[in-house]
Chains A and B, each alone.
Chain A
Amino acid sequence: MDATGGETTGLAGDGTGTMLTVDSLSIRFRRSAAARPVVEDVSFSIDAGESVALVGESGSGKTLTCRSILRILPRGAEVCGGAIQFGCGAERADLLRLPAKRLRDVRGSRISMIFQEPMSALSPLHTIGAQTAEVLRLHGQASRAKAREESLRMFERVGFPDPDRAFRSYPFQLSGGLRQRAMIAMAMVARPKLLIADEPTTALDVTLQAQVLALIKTLQAETGMAVLLVTHDLGVVANMADAVVVLRAGRVMESGNCADVLGRPLHGYTRKLMMAAPVIPECPAPSFPCPAGADAILEFHDIAKTFERGDRTVKALNGVDLRLRRGETLAIVGESGSGKTTLARLAMLADRPDPGGRILFRPDAGKPAMDLLDQTGAGLLGYRRSAQMVFQDPYASLSPRMTVGAIIAEPLAIHGIGGAAERRERVRALMAQVGLDPAWTNRYPHAFSGGQRQRIGIARALALDPALLICDEPTSALDVSVQAQVLDLLESIKTRLGLSLMFISHDLAVVARLADRVAVMRAGQVVEQAPPGILFSAPLHPYTQALIAASPEPDVSRPIDIATVARGAGRPDLWPDSFRPTPDRSGPPLLEIAPGHFVRRAA
């Protein structure tokens, strides 16, 4: 195979700067019925000190491509063509044909990898320190003492507040962000020439993502290593990469400098991805003011929820007051641990709040509200009929043993509505309503893609003609382009059926297009609440500001403002005085500083 082939290598023909050349790589699954390879003729190259992003949706072959570099393809997948040249000068070798022993020398020491899920990529039985020092010991680069010293230095570098303690910690003792930092330290400790980062921040909250990305970038500037970033997020690309390779169904759709590809996309698919990427609007449309005192369908009054975790208690919710007005979309945004999912579970009465709180539900406008926590029997069943939930994971929320028809008809069956023929008719209508072919009623969930499954979930939620729909991160498991479609669907259904929507999300950009009002939650409290127009243009709370600043935009001219993120997402004592929690830890009160705009700060 000609090692200098491929369209991009010709530009860096001198060979001194090129660190990695992937040349017409093809990968296929051995037992797959489809004759077509899953990765087909992919070529690109990375120079020392350069960052290249492989972008694509699920099934695009981006992960297979990056895994083939270290020859860690999953069982059944094999490279069926191409070459991967790595190194400079005399060291240059084809990784695909390197003997296993020499490949081991390369792995970890000259090419290292950061995985998506730090919890499963770190060994639970060894301390972080031992695992990091092992990298150096394995490659015979250092004595035990030296390895420890190096690891400690790297821990400090990646931002562990106490490197010594981190060295002795086990992965389960660290938070998600720290775990990913440990993973980075482990990948970086041997000073690799190439770092492969496979979705390094997908499992992290946005504010953490911003900080981890900034860290990778600084480390790269210091060491001059090349970075291959695999991601689905164009916003991350814009912030991190010099060049980008867009993959779709195993083929390169478009490649070029980041500014070129994101600024002037040539391929239709790239344009489609750009369009679908949720963006926080710079000048949001003025949202219509809701009439004050409008009829609320669901009200939370002073809701708290405490969980017992062994001998200590965790306050998941701490004094939440919220009103969901009839016909509006209330978005609840927060990062992991903010209590947003607990709130959704309470709203669905899957859990009960601590005594003292009240949840009021008003089935019809102008009628007296009923206290949901007092309901039993018929009243409870009635509420179950009018409030429905759309789940986060479209794979787990549909029973694999029921046909789609049976799944959608299940709520009708539970409440004993209609005869068999009537239900069949209703199912067909619902499927058409959510954009599924009604002829598919006899198929099983496995036949559907993630987006289609989420449509099934929505159809099921609509079967009983609910008044209230609670969506718990309904799009976070989906690809960007599919996410956009599902959001469109939710929006159109909401307007058509006049539903009230409670929309839980971790992503401000997702709710920007959908919400009438946004409540930002942190540590069990609402810190700011406003219509999106006000919230995005004039956020007051430092945490809201951090969330907005951390949200990566697919625009190279609008990089993440890391200082704002660090200030707002850090400990509350970094906040300006008026926002800091009061000594009794309850925080300042929620003040209405403009009509409809509430902020938790001292008056």
Chain B
Amino acid sequence: MSRAWKHQFDPEPWSPDDDAGPASRLDPGASAGRLMLRRFLRHRLAVLAALFLGLSYLSLPFVDFLAPYGANERDVEHLYAPPQPIHLFHEGRFVGPFVYPTAGRADLREYRWRYETDATRPMPLGFFCPGAPYRFLGLVETRLRLVCPPEGATLHLLGTDRLGRDILSRLAIGAQLSLTVGLLGIAVSFGIGVTLGGMAGYFGGRTDYAVQRLSEILKSLPELPLWLALSAAVPAHWSPVAVFLCISVILGLLDWPGLARAVRSRFLALREEDFVMAAELMGASPARIIGRHLLPNFASHLLASATLSIPAMILGETALSFLGLGLRPPATSWGVMLNDAQNLTAVETYPWVSAPMIPVILVVLSFNFLGDGLRDALDPYHDS
């Protein structure tokens, strides 16, 4: 049985024109790109990753200047030298950055190198001093380096490898190839993926069928043997740069199906949107529909997919070079360096030779975080 309700109302003054609330919690004046940027900045890990990657890529042209040694500069006195710390205080007195000299001897009982530090002689580091010659940006021959080892001592912050080359310097210089192989590879796979995926999505029917099956076949091939076969076909006498280009192209050629699929599904989804239909009914040509209505709405998604596929490229290069089929010495890349780490005894006795794993992990993780952040940010209208 229903009881009597008291009929009452809110006594506060009221006007019918009052806005019942903002139409949206988003800034009305901001463009979609701006909203995305704001949303991206909220994603801390992604911003951190972006900063890290940004710094890494920006420093690529200057690594020769930043690194204390050249990539193939050997120090036969210091084979497999362990990582060396930089000190600031000697016997309680501030000296500034310096190193203690080390001297190696062969331990013939355990059959390995042993290094002893002479902690009585602090040797200050030199800054903006001449080191081994290199070509700055490949143009100007120079010797100027940010930091150099003092005369009579060494500066191997991450130790040296089998041939006495400084691992830190090689890591920095190897980044030039390892980081760019991803970009080049992605450019290739992007080109193929967008073209084929776009065609599949726009024309549908047989084209779609053909592209889909082709990508499925590519995806079903065992990846590693295929890489191996293709890179074994690269002539051994080619220069490191030619091999590098070839490897990027190979990686790109095999990686496009994922991107093509992303493009195709996005295309199909967008084609069904009312605003695309509206443009069609207004009489817009296919070129205009693609260029003005479809592309802007999925360019950002492409960016995210591409970012997420770069790590695969970097890992691919590393894997190939590790197996000795990618880049070959004297070219320096992280994979080539890890080639040294194939020897288990070496890794056990001199663990620092596997140091290139660290940048590989960092870069791959950063790209993943960045990609995730981008993907989240790209849909600024979806409230989290």
Contacts and interface: CB of A to CB of B under 8 A. Distances in A.
A290 to B, nearest CB: 28
Contacts of B1: 17, 47, 49
A391 B3 contact: no
Interface string A260-301: 110010111110100000000000000000000000000000
B24 interface: yes
Given A47-B2, A75-B384, A253 B9 contact: yes
B6 interface: yes
Nearest to A463: B282
Interface in B13-43: 14-16, 20-32, 35
A47 B5 CA distance: 11
Contacts of B29: 442-443, 447
Given A49-B1, A449-B23, A389 B281 contact: yes
B280 A350 contact: yes
Contacts of A388: 281-282
A448 B23 contact: yes
A261 B9 CA distance: 9
The size class of the interface chain B forms with chain A is 35 or more
Contacts of B24: 446-449
A260 B2 CA distance: 14
Given A397-B274, A400-B297, A12 B26 contact: no
A397 B283 contact: no
A401 B21 contact: no
Interface string A342-372: 0000001110000000000000000000000
Given A391-B274, A397-B274, A254 B10 contact: yes
Nearest to A472: B274
Contacts of B278: 389, 391, 397, 460
Interface string A496-535: 0000000000000000000000000000000000000000
B221 interface: no
B7 interface: yes
Nearest to B28: A447
Contact of A243 (B5, B22, B30, B384): B5
B297 A410 contact: no
Contact of B275 (A60, A350, A396): A396
Interface stretch (A141-149, A244-252, A326-334, A591-599): A244-252
A1 interface: no
Contacts of B50: none
B279 interface: yes
A516 to B, nearest CB: 24
B282 to A, nearest CB: 5
B128 interface: no
B283 A414 contact: yes
Contacts of A249: 20-21
A400 B288 CA distance: 17
B24 to A, nearest CB: 6
B277 interface: yes
A452 B28 CA distance: 13
B5 A8 contact: yes
Residue among A381, A389, A414 having the largest count of chain B Cβ atoms under 10 Å: A414
A350 B9 contact: no
A89 B232 CA distance: 83
Contacts of A57: 20
A446 B24 CA distance: 7
Interface string A449-488: 1001000000010001000000000000000000000000
Contact of A446 (B9, B281, B381): B381
Contacts of A399: 275, 293, 296-297
A335 interface: no
B14 A447 contact: no
30 contacts: A7-B6, A8-B5, A32-B25, A33-B25, A49-B1, A59-B21, A75-B384, A242-B2, A243-B2, A251-B10, A256-B5, A256-B6, A260-B5, A260-B7, A264-B7, A267-B10, A269-B16, A384-B281, A388-B282, A392-B274, A399-B275, A399-B293, A400-B297, A410-B282, A444-B30, A446-B24, A446-B35, A446-B381, A447-B26, A448-B23
Given A11-B3, A272-B16, A392-B274, 18 more contacts: A7-B8, A34-B22, A47-B3, A49-B1, A76-B384, A251-B10, A254-B9, A257-B5, A396-B273, A396-B275, A397-B274, A399-B293, A403-B31, A414-B279, A446-B28, A446-B380, A449-B24, A464-B282
Interface of B: 1-10, 14-16, 20-32, 35, 273-275, 277-284, 288, 292-293, 296-297, 380-381, 383-384
A-B pairs, top 7 by smallest CB distance, nearest first, are: A256-B7, A447-B28, A384-B283, A449-B23, A397-B274, A254-B9, A396-B274
